Amino acid sequence: MEKHSGFMREAIALSKINVENATGGPFGAVIVKDGKVIAKSANLVTTTNDPTAHAEIAAIRLACKELNTFTLEGCVIYTSCEPCPMCLGAIYWAHLDKMYYANTKKDAADIGFDDAFIYDEIDLHPAKRKLMSEQILNDEALTIFEMWTKSREKILY
Residues that are catalytic:
56
Strand partners, 42: 28
Position 103, amino acid: N
d(CA 7, CA 9): 5
Tell me the pairing of strands 98-103 and 28-33. unpaired
- Within 10 angstroms of residue 37's Cβ, the number of other Cβ atoms is 16
